[in-house]
Amino acid sequence: MAGFNDASLIQVIAVPAVCLLISFLGYGSQLVFQASTLDPGPPSRRETIVFNGLLLILWYTYFKAVTVDPGRYVFPEVVEAEGRWCKKCSAPKPLRSHHCRHCARCVPKMDHHCPWTRNCVSMTTFPHFLRFLVWTNLTLWTLGLLLWQRFYALWESRHLPAYLGPSLPSLTSLALVSLVWFVTSAALGIMLATTIKSWIFNTTMIEGWELDRHEAIADRAGRDWWDVVGPDGEKLRFEKIEFPYDIGFFANMSQAMGTSNPFMWFFPLAGNPTVAKDGKGPGWTWEENGFNRIEGLWPPPDPDKLRRAGRTWPAARRNYEAELQQAYISTDSLGAADLTPQERKSAFLKRQEADLKRQRQLMAELEEVEDYDMLDEDIEGHRDAAVGGGGWINSDGDRLCDYGVDEEAEQEEAEDDAQDEDVPLAELLRRRKIRQKDGED
């Protein structure tokens, strides 16, 4: 899966390739059954109606999985930055949402970006994606039954002379269809099993990845947190967090399908959940099981991000208010007109030297973080070095970005603060003046 979504060729041919595969297995197989000399002959009228009816449902569910919008958040004009924040959308990021780099927005309850539908599997598209998998597997199993009938007939006539059996083109066509059917059935069967598991436990693929990472840290008794310090200088402690959204298998399944009526779960024409527009309903808030000490603890903090953001970085200790106040005092007491050109040049060189010193100190600490990451690879699912990026890797070899998540938009506010280390005071003064002007307006 790694890098599959990003391949430009896959993005172009994925949906046409799936349509071609459905056509080959669905209609190509019927041509083989009708035109060949294979026993027991062409499918019966009942078999033909059932198989083509399943094909029709398959086409419709795939169409819905491809075309239904994965959901979007509509915020009021004035937004308060509480909780998580998406840097790409410049808006709050509700719980269980992630910024998809392919859809270019935060997607509600994002599971993953599926290359074969060119769409996100999310809160709104999951029912259609699950129905597509269910009806596709039913169609494949029906085709498998038809193939088995022909192979059984071949086995029964194995003692007859070859010239009394089917022709070579018929056998070749049967073998080709069977091979493609076997590979497709195995792949989609595994996909259906993993999707049903996620459905029952109310987890997404991304949350499963987060669970793996959290369990790996817990197995090490939280030792990955031994050097994590918050921006306030206080040492952060590891806390085992239970997955909060597993509220019971029936409630989980009803929530994902948007209805508690089981008869509507797999009905092809059934709808899907929608994101509330008031900012308080489905898609914005999620019921929790109450196993944690407080609500809203998921996802568990990433020690790598916290370490890079606030372990010993000068940005975590930098007092911007004091610097700005001192800058205002200096500006008031020494106006630009009172300084000679030589004094202004000397003051500029001092500020430049101080900024260079801070940059060198920051780079030295970044190298220290890189060395730590490169040495700490002794657990299943290791972290990449800071230079390479990519973060933690699970047992399947997947990074968070492999699910379509835009990791640049996943950075915490603490990292934004750390990045402000190189911002000169003049720029900070300019930003404050703009904010003050906006406040007066």
Catalytic residue among 86, 89, 106, 114: 114
Q: What share of the chain is helix, strand, coil (3-state, %, to 5)?
A: 55, 5, 40
**Euclidean distance between CA atoms 308 and 209, whole angstroms:** 21
- CA-angle at 112, arms to 13 and 293, nearest 5°: 180
Q: Beta strands 112-114 and 119-121: pairing type? A: antiparallel
The helix (H) or strand (E) run that includes residue 115 is none
In the three-class reduction of DSSP (H, G, I as helix; E, B as strand; rest coil), residue 412 is classed as coil
Tell me if 255 sits within 8 A of 127, measured CB to CB.
no
Distance CA 425, CA 317 (A): 16
Q: Would you give the DSSP letter of residue 36? A: S
The residue count of the chain comes to 441
Q: Which of 295, 291, 284 is nearest to 246 (CA)?
A: 291
Residue 393 — left, alpha, or beta (φ > 0 → left; ψ -120 to 50 → alpha)?
Answer: beta
Which residue type occupies 277? Answer: K
Q: Is 114 noted as a catalytic residue in this protein?
A: yes
Residue (of 244, 247, 248) closest to 297 by Cα position: 244
Q: Which two tokens stand for residue 418?
A: 């750390």
Question: Which H or E run contains 53?
Answer: helix 45-67
* 3-class DSSP assignment, residue 92: strand
186 CB-near residues (< 8 Å, 6+ apart): none
For 138, counting Cβ atoms within 10 Å of its Cβ (0-12 exposed, 13-18 middle, 19+ buried), the class is middle
CA angle 305, 311, 314 (to 5 degrees): 115
DSSP 377-389: --SSSPBPPTTT-
CA distance 18 to 184: 11
DSSP state of 411: -
Question: How far apart, in whole angstroms, are the C-alpha atoms of residue 293 and residue 29?
Answer: 57
List, by residue number, the catalytic residues. Answer: 114
